Each structure stands twice: as structure tokens, then as C-alpha cells.
Chains A and B, each alone.
Chain A
């Protein structure tokens, strides 16, 4: 077996060896349900689609994804097991990718467990399957982007709380800098070009277009660049700091 798979397997198993996975899944699913049914009043809208579910997902993920990511490297460094991992015949890239993908798949499991929502919508009406699929793809990519950011800050700081706060703030900026209200405010003192640059760099626009069922190359490329960039930065930072 490849070293990448060894790390991947160990990491994914470790989520379920502790209460972490179960606590995370329960809270994520309850919160996702609450936001959809209570905050967005799903039943009163009388629309058989998942708009109300996806629209609040960024809010939830800003907290939940950094909570998964914060332990990735901070814990290894604190406990010292990073010395074990980095003296096994493994490259640092394999180790970073193994852990990243394990966490991403874990978040994928959390998203997949929201399937009763799909069943509900299908039972109540005739939803557009493609729209729902695109929404899930967008959510999964958004989770991956937030995770890559969290992964980076987890490698930066040995302290899990610091890693959590920094990555939650970074995710929030990325997600909400592009909201119309924010862009309006920015346009009062920034030149127009800069404001639209911030708008396109923000995750909001790309996630929203996937939510509407439009799968454009530039949106997918945006997420891929985001993930690759932050994971690469994580590798560099970890290589520098693992022993300090």
C-alpha cells in the first residue's frame, strides 16, 4: 500500500475511534436541519427545492470545518507524533495530502448524511435533481476550500484554539466579502475595479452560481486553485515549523 493511503486510512479511522466524529456529525446535522426548517421556514415557503438548505450552509461551515481542521497538524505537533510521522519513509506532501483527503472525505460523509432532506423534498414535490446535485458539488468544494484554509492555520500554530479562530475568521472573510451589502459598503471608499475584484475573489459568487445549478469551468477552477494553493502553503509551513 502506498504511504499516502496508509496516512489516509489511519486518519479517517481516528475520527471514529474518538467521540469526535459522532459529536461533529450530530451537531452538524441538527444545525443544518434547524437552519433549514426553523430559520428559513422551509414549510411555509411551499417550494420543493433545497435552496433553503444550501443558502445557510456557508454559515454552518465557517464554524464546523475549522473545528475539524484545527486538530490536523496542531495536535500532531503538540503531542510530538509529527516527529514519528516525519521520520517514517513518507514525503511531507504525502502526509499533508493523506490527512487533508481523510478530513475532506469525513466532511463528505457529513454532507451525505443530510440525505433525508433530499428525500423530503422528493416526497413533497418534483425537485430538479441536477440542481440538487450541483448544490452538493458546490457544498463539497466549499468544505474542501475551508478545510484547506484550516489545514494551513493548523500547521501554523501548535495551539488548536488559535488555529480554529484564525481559520474561522479567514473562512468568514472569504465567504462574506462578496455579499452585496459588503460590496456596497466597500464601494463607498474603494475604486470600482477593486470592489469587483473582491467580489470575484469571494467564495460567495462561485458557490451561488453552483447553487443555481450552473456548473461553470471558472467556478470549478476557482475552488481547485483555492484548495491547491492553501494545501501547498500548508506543506511549506509544516516543513519549516515541524521541529520548532
Chain B
């Protein structure tokens, strides 16, 4: 459902993403793994049509990111880093705004809200303004926003960053339960998360794909923990 071909993007002299290619199918949860500044966020921003690639392309559910950005955005849900939202709005007002933009009306809207609000456990803060919420709740509001149109494709940029252990557990369970019939990409640098929820993992560093495998396979091949593999792979390239 996601097809990425030779995506490349640089900012001035810095090459953020250097020709990465991969594809993700329905039922897969792909963990995009890499050190800070590896190009994970830039890659996700290109797939969600926030920034344009210098070269290469990608398609989401058959929509090309260069030719049909609106089609791409319609078919995916995206949780950006730090889950940006409008602080002065209430949670309910914000979700209704997203419904307005995504053209979810009438009974469908009620159904969508009834589904997504308990799913992300934000019932208790529904009438609160977003700027008064804790980080964990803000993240869950962001998640609700990404799920409200029940998209086939989900792209989540560090969805558990800054959450407490209980919240992390909840979000991971949510992702696992959705992973069966959706196509999900999450970026993270927390390795145990990859083991817990991802059916596949890609390690990127300095804009390039270094490893494309499953967490299980990796461990069997190298016979060490994922953390050691990560260190070995990302550091090896630096010295080379």
C-alpha cells in the first residue's frame, strides 16, 4: 500500500534522505529505526506530502505524492512529531474541525467520534482546551485526529515519545490491534518498542537504508540483542 522509490531530499548542503526505497503492505507494522537526524522525520514528511522530494517518488494507496497530494493525504492518517494541534481549541472542537476538513458529516461524524474517543481514552478531557492537557493526552488527541477517518495507512512519528510507561503500553496495544488490517509506519529510537509491535524493521542512518528485515530475523542472524545490532550497524557505517 506504500511504495517508496529512491526518495531523496537535501536541505542546503545537508542530505537528509539519500535515495531510500521500500514498500509496506497491508497488515504490516513497519518500524523506522535510526539515530537522531537519520532522516526518519524527513522521509515521513515526504510521504505525507508536507515537503516535496528533490527526486524520487512514493505512492500511498495508489496515489502518487507528486501528482495527487490531496488523494494521498485523504487516504492516510498522520501523527507528526510532538503532535501539533491548536491549543486554544477544546478536544471536541478540534476533532470536529478535522471532521469538517475530512468531510465527515452527520451520522458518520457521530459514529467516528464515538469510535475514536474511547479508543484513545480521551473521554474525560473532551471539553478541555488542548493547551491545558498533559503531554500524554495531547499525544492521544493527535492519535485520535489521525484515526478519525479510519484510514488504511497510518504514519506515526515517534508516537510514544515522552509518555509514561502506562501510556506507552496503551499506545502500543492500540497500534498492535490496528496493525492487522492496516498498513502502519512508526518511527522510533526505542528498540524495545520495535520488538513489541513491529512486524518489520528498517534501520536508517544518514539518509540511507542500512537494514531491512524483521526484528526476529535480525536477532537470529546476529545472535545478540537488537540494541547491539543497532549500535553495530549505525556505527560501522560512520567509520567506513
Contact = CB atoms under 8 A, between A and B. Distances in A.
A87 B51 contact: no
Contact of A89 (B50, B73, B82, B105): B73
Interface stretch (B18-26, B93-101, B164-172, B232-240): B93-101
B101 A87 contact: no
Given A1-B103, A7-B101, A87 B89 contact: no
B84 interface: yes
B73 A1 contact: no
Interface string B141-165: 0000100000000000000000000
A80 B82 contact: yes
Contacts, number: 67
B189 interface: no
B85 A1 contact: no
A87 to B, nearest CB: 5
B51 A243 contact: yes
Contact of B84 (A14, A81, A90, A244): A81
B101 A84 contact: no
Interface string B80-94: 101011111100010
Contacts of B85: 81, 84
B89 A14 contact: yes
B66 interface: no
Interface residues of B, number: 27
Nearest to B71: A89
A83 interface: yes
A17 interface: yes
Interface in B95-138: 97-98, 100-103, 105
A5 interface: yes
A88 B145 CA distance: 10
A91 interface: yes
Interface string A7-26: 10110011001100000000
Contacts of A10: 86, 89, 97, 100
Nearest to A15: B88
Interface in B33-50: 45, 48-50
A136 B213 CA distance: 67
A74 to B, nearest CB: 15
B74 to A, nearest CB: 4
Interface residues of A, number: 26
Contacts of B100: 1, 3, 5-6, 9-10
Interface in A68-124: 79-84, 86-91
A9 B101 CA distance: 11
A83 B89 contact: no
A223 B100 CA distance: 32
Contacts of B70: 89-91
Contacts of A18: 88
Given A14-B88, A91-B70, A84 B97 contact: no
A6 B88 contact: no
A89 B51 contact: no
A80 to B, nearest CB: 4
Given A88-B101, A243-B50, A79 B87 contact: yes
B45 to A, nearest CB: 7
A79 B105 contact: no
Contact of B80 (A1, A3, A83, A242): A83
Nearest to A18: B88
B87 A87 contact: no
A18 B73 CA distance: 30
Given A6-B100, A10-B97, A243-B45, A84 B80 contact: yes
Interface of A: 1, 3, 5-7, 9-10, 13-14, 17-18, 79-84, 86-91, 242-244
16 contacts: A1-B100, A1-B105, A3-B100, A9-B100, A10-B100, A18-B88, A80-B82, A81-B84, A83-B50, A83-B80, A87-B50, A88-B101, A89-B101, A89-B102, A243-B45, A243-B51
* Nearest 8 pairs of A and B residues by beta carbon: A6-B100, A80-B84, A89-B74, A89-B73, A81-B84, A6-B101, A243-B51, A87-B48
Given A1-B100, A6-B101, A79-B84, 20 more contacts: A3-B103, A6-B97, A6-B100, A10-B89, A10-B97, A14-B86, A14-B88, A14-B89, A83-B45, A83-B80, A87-B78, A87-B80, A88-B101, A89-B73, A89-B101, A90-B73, A90-B101, A242-B50, A243-B50, A244-B11
